[in-house]
Amino acid sequence: MDIRLGFQKRGLIDLIKGKGPKDSIPYAEAISGDSTISYAIAFSRIFEEAQNIAVPQELDFARLVLLELERVATHIGDMGAIAGDIGYYPLQGVCSLQRGIPLGVMEALTGNRFGRGALSPGKIFFRKGLDRNKLKELSERIRSVTEEVVGHFERAAGRSTNRERLQSCGVIRQKQVRHLGFIGMVEKCTGLNRDLRNLEKSYAFSSPISLELNRDQMRGDAWARFYLRYEELKNSSKWLVEAIPKLEAALDLKFGKSNPVKKGMYYSAVEGWRGPVLVSLDLDSNGTIENTYIREVSVPNWHALELAVRGEYIGDFPLNNKSFNLSYVGVDL
């Protein structure tokens, strides 16, 4: 099977040009809606560097909590979508329903299920009424939903028919990753585990987040991409259960003072759930964006999907497509 891709230009790059620190964030959040937090962090960090804004560790830590909630919600949804494509409806049903739990936690924290409007350079906006007891309740929601989803996943993984349907389907090799520059989940599913979260010091404000993966399961196929989500769900949720109550330290922060912008080219990279999102902004002395380069994770990885389905049955395409879950809008900028 050969893929022919059609593109529609949204004009987002042109809309971002001419915007400043505050009014560019809504456009950043719209680059790929399922990665709202990832791009909001990337843009915020660029302006923080350009304006020399001091960012307290509590604020940076709080942003990472939202980033991991975004990861958990998306992984649960993807696990259900893959299960539906192989006809295993118990897991699909659970994930379709329970994806709403981490999204609900995001809304309880920020007022929006995707975290829109929560972040801006040097600032984070929490919903009013949060306190120690509410944070503990939200932490318990994450613990409970993870326990349920993990249990159903392990039952699904224990069925030989499910494994046989996914294993050796849509394979990507490590050699292809190295030669063609595939990144993020596509890279990780082959056993190459590069992750920018290793460089994020603020995870340790709670406790270090585990980024370990079961390399025996990472063989580059649809099964590996299914299993990878399970592994990251467990790791992120375990960290979130401890981290959410510690958001109390970030509820009443005094935001750093903005300084005059230093004209120049800046970049930021953040490990979103698909992989590392990359943003570069060229700013003038007023902080206005003169030019921008945005590299959505899906841009290099579309070719990986093309290679994965080459020679496969046409009926396997929906399964492989969902196992990659690449962003259409993130490419059509």
Asked, for residue 332, whether it belongs to a domain, the answer is no
Asked, for residue 194, whether it belongs to a domain, the answer is no
Asked, for residue 237, whether it belongs to a domain, the answer is yes
Cα distance between residue 16 and residue 294, in whole Å: 11
* Residue among 299, 142, 118, 323 nearest 223 (CA): 323
Asked, for residue 55, whether it belongs to a domain, the answer is yes
Asked, for residue 323, whether it belongs to a domain, the answer is no
The 10s digit of each residue's pLDDT in 180-232 is 999 999 999 999 999 999 999 999 999 999 999 999 999 999 999 999 999 99
Asked, for residue 50, whether it belongs to a domain, the answer is yes
What CATH code is carried by the domain that includes residue 293?
1.10.645.10
Q: Are 30 and 10 in contact (CB under 8 A)?
A: no
Instruction: Give me the pLDDT at residue 9, please.
Output: 81
Q: Check whether 322 has a pLDDT greater than 90.
A: yes
Asked, for residue 319, whether it belongs to a domain, the answer is no
Instruction: Give me the pLDDT at residue 253, please.
Output: 87
Domain count, the chain: 1
For 303, the token pair is 């070719």
Domain that holds residue 134: 16-169+233-297
Instruction: Give me the pLDDT at residue 259, please.
Output: 87
* Residue among 196, 171, 166 nearest 184 (CA): 196
DSSP 286-320: TS-EEEEEEE-THHHHHHHHHHHHTTS-GGGHHHH
Asked, for residue 190, whether it belongs to a domain, the answer is no
The 10s digit of each residue's pLDDT in 134-183 is 999 999 999 999 999 999 999 999 999 999 999 999 999 999 999 999 99
Instruction: Give me the pLDDT at residue 35, please.
Output: 98
The 10s digit of each residue's pLDDT in 67-93 is 999 999 999 999 999 999 999 999 999
